[in-house]
Amino acid sequence: MVDNGGSHRGAAACQRLQARYPNPPLVQLPTRASWLTRIARPCARVQRNVLTPNDSPDRAAVATRVLAFAARYNDTALPSHRRFTRQQRNDRLAASPDRPPPRTTALPPPPPVATANARTA
């Protein structure tokens, strides 16, 4: 899985990946996937604040710095109070010209499952 950034976009990226690794498919995620952003932000903070001063003598020192950063971050981090309602999603999808309009009706209920409670003779 890759983000849909410039180096991962298009047929050329698929060809590069398949030339090097023929088995896995290239799955491109949305450019602004909210869950991906929530993962990428802390990773970027670790990269900027912990790993960028690449002056550690060994891996143990890097591990110590990462664990210290994680403990400090967990003590000071605040929860995200961001809400994204279904109506906001529908409005955003309706405003996008290259996407079909959102489905407004619910899916039909699944058919009932036959149960075999009676004993067969």
pLDDT per position in the chain (121 positions), as tens? 666 666 666 778 778 888 888 887 777 766 666 667 777 778 888 888 888 878 888 889 889 999 998 898 888 877 766 677 888 878 877 777 776 666 666 667 777 776 655 555 4
- Amino acid type, 96: S
Q: How far apart are CA 26 and CA 2, in angstroms?
A: 7
**Cα–chain-centroid distance for residue 118?**
47
**pTM reported for the whole predicted model:** 0.40
